[in-house]
Amino acid sequence: MHDRLPVMIGIDGGATYSYGIAVDSNARVLAFAQSGSLSFLGSSMVEARRNLNQLVKALELKLPLQNEFASVVIGCAALFAEATETQKELLCKGILPVFRTRLVSDCLTAFHGATLGGPGVLVTGGTGSITVAQNEAGEFSQVGGWGHILGDAGGAYWIALESAKAAIAAVEGLGPQTSLIDLVCRWFEVKDLTDIVPVFYGSKFSKDKFAALAGFLAAEGGEDAVFQQICQRAGRELARQAQTALQLCGLKIRPAPLFLNGSVVTKNGLVRESLLKHLNQAYPVQLCQAQLPPVLGAAALAMGSRGLEVTPQFVKNLLESSQRLAQPAPKAT
């Protein structure tokens, strides 16, 4: 009888997309898969379970038959910190070995990937927004993460909503004229701005779909003065979160190591510049490169749960093997 191959699973369960990765005990990436959101608050537990099942099945198809999920860590956008046992069972039962699975906030897996447990501050600006900081003693503070209705200032949904409101204000004469009117109509595929109302409030329209408007506007309307002001405000809101998180945890390092995660802060230059400008005015920071992306941060936590020390060699193995996996297979000659 063949011994089973122990496999560690790391999953980055974002508000829009989810990514899963399987690694062996030498930190070599064996398989990678992608699925939809695991945010059971943003959609539903049924949809989150469907996406998780799809992700796990896709990983299993790429793994050797004789394998065992020895440790699983899921970073989930629906959580503030560690999940309750009830939440974990509702999401994972029948899909993953619950007793070998950790379900935590996706900001914690992203932070671990960025710093590998060291001090610093991670600003996440994706569909929503959340900031995590850790001091030299390993004490955490967290600001944001309240979702698109209660918070998420500076995130993609917030930018999309502020842009749509600016377009409406321009049409009604309550705000300055802006190309956002035409751009929002183009994105919704309507002729008049009033036609977005039944689409926006329709049962099939989701926050994830609407948040994608922010990326479209950044690509198509970056020269618009009104949109630029919205992006600058987004950066200022994210800077406020980061400043508060740093003050709450009492990080003494100056400048504080700053890590960025999420499409808004990594791809939208206006938001990033505004964030850095306003944060540095209040709390000196130094922008640093994350050591691992969030999904590999989850995998590193899964390795730690198995008692494996994530050494510099392991970090190198994770990065190099994941890059090789992402490369297309060479053509036959």
Cβ contacts of 165-172, under 8 Å, gap ≥ 24 = 166/226, 166/227, 166/230, 167/193, 168/193, 170/226
**Helix or strand holding residue 67 (H, E):** strand 67-76
Residues 9 and 132 in one domain: no
pLDDT for the residue numbered 58? 95
pLDDT for the residue numbered 248? 95
CA distance 305 to 99: 12
Entry pTM: 0.85
What range defines the domain where residue 134 resides?
A: 117-290
Residues 160 and 283 in one domain: yes
Nearest Cα neighbor of 257 from 115, 154, 140, 139 is 115
pLDDT for the residue numbered 5? 85
Instruction: Count how many domains the chain has.
Output: 2
Residues 267 and 231 in one domain: yes
Mean pLDDT in each 10-residue stretch from start to end of the chain (333 residues)?
80 89 93 90 85 95 88 90 90 94 92 92 92 94 89 95 97 96 95 93 84 94 94 98 95 94 94 97 94 93 90 91 66 38
Q: Which residues of 287-303 are buried (b: 16+ CB within 10 A; e: fewer)?
A: ebebbbbbbbbbbbbbb
Residues 102 and 132 in one domain: no
Across the beta sheet with 29-36, the strand order is 29-36, 17-23, 5-13, 67-76, 101-105
Domain membership of residue 187 (yes or no) is yes
Residues 124 and 196 in one domain: yes
Residues 103 and 133 in one domain: no
Residues in the chain: 333
pLDDT for the residue numbered 79? 85
Query: At residue 160, what is the residue type?
Result: A
Domain membership of residue 331 (yes or no) is no
DSSP label of 201? T
Q: Quick check: bond before 119 cis, omega within 30? A: no
Output the domain CATH number for residue 252: 3.30.420.40
pLDDT digits (tens, 9 = 90+) for 63-92: 988 888 999 999 998 888 888 899 999 999
Residues 155 and 248 in one domain: yes
pLDDT for the residue numbered 323? 85
Domain membership of residue 332 (yes or no) is no
Q: How many CA atoms lie within 13 A of 25 on its CB side?
A: 10
Domain membership of residue 92 (yes or no) is yes
Domain membership of residue 141 (yes or no) is yes
Residues 233 and 271 in one domain: yes
Domain membership of residue 263 (yes or no) is yes
Residues 279 and 318 in one domain: no
Residues 241 and 281 in one domain: yes
Residues 296 and 286 in one domain: no
Tell me how many helices (H) and strands (E) the chain has: 13, 10
